[in-house]
Amino acid sequence: PVIVVDFGAQYAQLIARRVREAKVYSEIVPHTFTVEQMLAKDPAAIILSGGPSSVYAAGAPFVDPKLFEAGVPVMGICYGFQAMAQALGGDVAQTGLSEYGGTEVEVCASGVLLAGTPEHQTAWMSHGDAVHKAPVGFEVLATSSGSPVAAFEDTRRRLYGVQWHPEVKHSAHGQTVLEHFLYEGAGLKPDWTPGNVIADQVAAIKAQIGTSRVICALSGGVDSAVAAALVQRAVGDQLTCVHVDHGLMRAGEVEQIENDFVASTGVRLIVRDEKERFLTALAGVSDPETKRKIIGREFIRVFEDAQRDIVAEAGEHGEDVKFLVQGTLYPDVVESGGGEGAANIKSHHNVGGLPDDLDFDLVEPLRTLFKDEVRAVGRELGVPEEIVSRQPFPGPGLGIRIVGEITAERLEILRRADAIAREELTKAGLDNEIWQCPVVLLADVRSVGVQGDGRTYGHPIVLRPVSSEDAMTADWTRLPYDVLSTISTRITNEVREVNRVVLDVTSKPPGTIEWE
Ligand code: XMP
């Protein structure tokens, strides 16, 4: 792999993603890894990421010069660039001057790294110190007003570096610079494709599972669907999928799993219709956390029942059920390795995610993938586009999009309004611009309206379209007025109980994406 050394800023994941966009496999390791640990991964190249502002700061991570003697191509970015310069005897000065944001860079020699890019280009900077003198053997490729040395390379030792952040889209030629390092600098080939990922994973899953049987909880989301499709490709009918229909799904979703997903993948699927059970358990409850806990608890109980049935059935055939498929993604793996417990803002018990104490070994075929890669793999496996391109949807479903008590009638109102909003957003071609658009029913609020000749006293529907990279932060999406207008007109015309549609214009923070 290409190893991205994480110096603690938020850029390492982005770099890893960009490397993969260049069709080269990458992995993130913490900067606390020793050179020996890094080399043990047999890296094809190493990228040192951005990090703290100054190599002189107390406790600033340091780069062992041995790293540059191993014969592995290395690229330093921002802090990694400065750390590299310092380790190899260059001159990093605490100038007190800093550059932040889009910065004009002047190319003085294009070399390998900047070949074919313009003489003047905008690059995204975020640094205090600057490299004043490149180490011996390096050629200076670019300068900027705050960075006498803004890029350098030593092609003989295959060492490269840039002061700016090529992984950030605001750097005009960032991806080109990264690709020059990977292809020309490190001699790598763009061969990490969905097809190869599938071949590798299928082989790994076969080796792990053998002849045993395996269970997967299908939530209807992208991750569990693609994980199941991969495992199915590997072991066929040894896999049984269970979908717990809790009655909190959106219009058409259960049918999509029941019909389209099964038809396109051949997965063996058991759907448990548990709508009544969830409604009963949720009766009279309007507190959001209590709702989440009830939904999570009931989900686990139902899944355990299903699992018991499957184990019993397998036992009759003298088979064992040892494995459980989980759609864990690479960001979860990286983040849980970070060790810092994020504040529990909401209990993301992740329906579809199961408790740790289940007596199974986990099969996690998406552990190395980012979300967009999961989608690409899903498409290649023939998972229906409606599922693959689905926006994130919370495990507790519409249950946390009804502010107030959940009833069958209220679910139906919300399902109809949500279907209209989704249909119009898709029709307007906005699905890719929006991260997700929760549609929320304020079930305990009523307002006066007028329709035809009559007074109405109905409920408001909230539209919550957000743009985001990772759901940690988000901004409200500036949807075109005519699209908003169509959605509003259609919902108030077609859903009798709703007489008002409002738009949520709050970013996250302070608002979360979901209302509960
Ligand atoms: P918030 O509301 O916390 O949501 O800004 C961030 C992202 O997480 C999704 N979400 C959930 N996903 N189980 C899930 O699987 C949950 O309990 C859950 N709650 C929120 C939400 O849709 C958004 O994408």
User: What are the pLDDT digits (tens) for 281-298?
Assistant: 999 999 999 999 999 999
Q: Is the pLDDT of residue 335 over 90?
A: no
Q: How many residues does the chain have?
A: 516
Selected catalytic residue, list 99, 167, 179, 274: 167
Distance 220 CA to ligand 1 centre (A): 15
Backbone angles phi, psi at 231, to 5 degrees: -65, -40
- What's the rounded Cα separation, in Å, for the pair 3 and 1? 6
Q: Going by CA atoms, what residue is nearest to atom 18 of ligand 1?
A: 394
- By CB atoms closer than 10 A (0-12, 13-18, 19+), residue 23 is middle
Contact call for residues 376 and 194 (beta carbons, < 8 A) = yes
pLDDT attached to residue 97: 78
Distance 326 CA to ligand 1 centre (A): 17
Confidence at 95, pLDDT banded by 50, 70, 90: confident
For the chain, the average pLDDT equals 92
Confidence at 346, pLDDT banded by 50, 70, 90: very low
Residue 50 marked as a ligand binder: no
Q: Going by CA atoms, what residue is nearest to atom 12 of ligand 1?
A: 394
Distance 288 CA to ligand 1 centre (A): 13
Confidence at 336, pLDDT banded by 50, 70, 90: low
Angle at which helix 222-235 crosses helix 371-380, to 10 degrees, equals: 50
- What's the rounded Cα separation, in Å, for the pair 247 and 397? 9
Q: Is the pLDDT of residue 340 over 80?
A: no
Contact call for residues 177 and 166 (beta carbons, < 8 A) = yes
Residue 220 marked as a ligand binder: yes
pLDDT attached to residue 356: 65
Q: Is the pLDDT of residue 344 over 50?
A: no
pLDDT attached to residue 466: 97
Q: Going by CA atoms, what residue is nearest to atom 4 of ligand 1?
A: 513
Confidence at 353, pLDDT banded by 50, 70, 90: low
Instruction: Cis check for the bond before 509: say yes or no (omega within 30 of 0).
Output: yes
Query: 510: number of CA atoms within 13 Å, CB side?
Result: 0
pLDDT tens-digit readout, 6-65: 988 778 989 999 999 999 999 999 999 999 999 999 999 999 998 876 888 888 888 999
- 167 a catalytic residue: yes
Give the end-to-end CA distance of the chain in Å, rounded to a whole number. 41
Confidence at 469, pLDDT banded by 50, 70, 90: confident
434 pocket-lining for ligand 1 (C-beta < 6 Å) = no
430 pocket-lining for ligand 1 (C-beta < 6 Å) = no
- The CA-CA-CA angle for residues 23, 224, 252, to 5°, reads 115
Query: In this predicted structure, which of 112-121, 238-247, 388-397, 415-424 has the lowest mean pLDDT?
Result: 388-397
Q: Going by CA atoms, what residue is nearest to atom 3 of ligand 1?
A: 512
Q: Which of 499, 402, 415 is nearest to 444 (CA)?
A: 402
Q: Is the pLDDT of residue 343 over 50?
A: no
Closest atom, ligand 1, to C-alpha of 353: 15
Confidence at 355, pLDDT banded by 50, 70, 90: low
Selected catalytic residue, list 21, 31, 153, 165: 165
pLDDT attached to residue 8: 80
Confidence at 338, pLDDT banded by 50, 70, 90: very low
> Which of 348, 507, 508 most suits a substitution to test ligand 1, by most atoms within 8 Å of the C-beta?
348
- 78 a catalytic residue: yes
396 pocket-lining for ligand 1 (C-beta < 6 Å) = yes
Q: All domains of the chain, ordered by start, with CATH?
A: 2-185 (3.40.50.880), 194-388 (3.40.50.620), 401-503 (3.30.300.10)
Q: Is the pLDDT of residue 350 over 60?
A: no
